[in-house]
């Protein structure tokens, strides 16, 4: 099956610094990727839709200047948390959408997640 | 807007008993519904999906779900629970990205 990787799996950074999280589709091309955030013991919330070669579309309430998304190639999207603060500590998960299958429906594959801790 | 709801925060069952994790949906048009499982400090694992066709969908690890249009439900079921099924379960509807329910923590006791 299709594989999506994230790097790093875990990161600790100091308040005020920026941190970049990578999401890669390893064996397929993904024109669209999605970024989610999960608070402890809570559900996943869609943050933004990342389209290759164009600007990301952010969900209501998500600060686009704080969470910078770049989708520079068909296999890589990055999420940069700028000027991170402790309240940004969370589990960030990406997913990648492949092309339409034989059923005419695309599939989404999730990465393993990145745990960000801001001290 | 598309959404799903999971009315139970917690479900407890004894090993060997059948389990049900509930999900209801609110969508316009035809829903694309999914179930995922998450183990502690891990990502999501896909269990099954309903796109079209047979209302009874069979998925991974012996799980199945029934799409019920009249009740707008998509409950997850398994005939005989295992202790290893204990995890956090999410129902989701595709709306571009996924819209997830709040999650249900399943605990299977020996």
Q: Residue A107: which pLDDT band, with cuts at 50, 70 and 90?
A: confident
For the stretch A100-106, contacts whose Cβ atoms lie closer than 8 Å and that sit 24 or more positions apart, written own/partner, are: A103/B51, A105/B32, A105/B51
Q: What is the pLDDT of residue A103?
A: 57
Tell me the pLDDT tens digit for each residue of A17-42: 999 999 999 988 888 999 999 988 78
Residue B40 contacts A where some CB pair is shorter than 8 Å: no
Residue B46 contacts A where some CB pair is shorter than 8 Å: yes
- Whether the CB-CB separation of A107 and A101 falls below 8 Å is answered with yes
Residue environment code for A49-78, b if the CB has 16+ CB neighbours within 10 A, otherwise e: bbbbeeebbbbeebeeeebbbebeeebbbb
Q: What is the pLDDT of residue A85?
A: 96
Cα distance between residue B103 and residue B87, in whole Å:
10
Mean pLDDT of all residues in chain B? 94
- Whether the CB-CB separation of B65 and B35 falls below 8 Å is answered with yes
β-strand B33-38 against B44-50: which pairing, if any?
A: antiparallel
Percent share of chain A, pLDDT over 90: 71
Q: What is the pLDDT of residue B42?
A: 78
Percent share of chain B, pLDDT over 90: 82
Contacts of A64 (CB under 8 A, 6+ apart): A48, A56, A58
Tell me the pLDDT tens digit for each residue of B38-87: 988 778 899 999 998 899 999 999 999 999 999 999 999 999 999 999 99
Q: What is the pLDDT of residue A2?
A: 81
Q: What is the pLDDT of residue A102?
A: 54
Q: Which residue, among A80, A98, A115, has the nearest Cα to A26 in the 3D structure?
A: A98
Answer yes or no: is pLDDT of A101 > 60: no
On chain A, the residues whose CB falls within 8 A of the CB of B44 are: 44, 93, 110
Q: Residue A54: which pLDDT band, with cuts at 50, 70 and 90?
A: confident
Q: What is the pLDDT of residue B96?
A: 84
Looking at A3-7, A57-61, B38-42, which range is the least confident one?
Answer: B38-42
On chain A, the residues whose CB falls within 8 A of the CB of B106 are: none
Chain A: give the shortest CA distance to residue B98, in Å: 7
On chain A, the residues whose CB falls within 8 A of the CB of B101 are: 43
Q: Containing H/E element for A13?
A: strand A10-13
Over range B16-32, report the average pLDDT: 94
* Interchain pair B51, A49: CB under 8 A: no
Residue A49 contacts B where some CB pair is shorter than 8 Å: yes
Over range B83-106, report the average pLDDT: 94
- Whether the CB-CB separation of A21 and A6 falls below 8 Å is answered with yes
Q: What is the pLDDT of residue A40?
A: 81
Mean pLDDT of all residues in chain A? 91
* Interchain pair B97, A112: CB under 8 A: no
Residue B83 contacts A where some CB pair is shorter than 8 Å: no
* Interchain pair B100, A113: CB under 8 A: no
Q: What is the pLDDT of residue B53?
A: 86
């Amino acid at each position: 099956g299709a594989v999506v990787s994230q790097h790093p799996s875990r990161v600790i950074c100091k308040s005020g610094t920026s941190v970049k999280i990578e999401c890669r589709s390893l064996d397929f091309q993904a024109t669209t990727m999605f970024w989610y955030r999960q608070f402890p013991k809570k559900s996943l919330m869609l943050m933004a839709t990342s389209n290759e070669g164009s600007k990301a579309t952010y969900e209501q309430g998500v600060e686009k200047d704080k969470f910078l998304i770049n989708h520079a190639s068909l296999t890589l999207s990055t999420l940069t948390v700028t000027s991170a603060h402790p309240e940004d500590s969370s589990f960030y998960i990406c997913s990648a959408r492949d092309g339409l299958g034989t059923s005419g429906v695309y599939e989404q594959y999730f990465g393993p997640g990145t745990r960000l801790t801001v001290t | 807007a598309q959404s799903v709801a999971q009315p139970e925060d917690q479900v407890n069952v004894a090993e060997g008993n059948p389990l049900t994790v509930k999900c209801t949906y609110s969508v316009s048009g035809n829903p694309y519904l999914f179930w995922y499982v998450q183990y502690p400090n891990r990502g999501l694992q896909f269990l099954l999906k309903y796109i079209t066709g047979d209302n009874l969908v069979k998925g991974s690890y012996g799980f199945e779900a029934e799409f019920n249009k009249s009740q707008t439900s998509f409950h997850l079921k398994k005939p005989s629970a295992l202790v290893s099924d204990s995890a956090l379960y999410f129902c989701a509807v595709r709306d571009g990205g996924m819209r997830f329910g709040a999650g249900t923590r399943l605990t299977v006791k020996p």
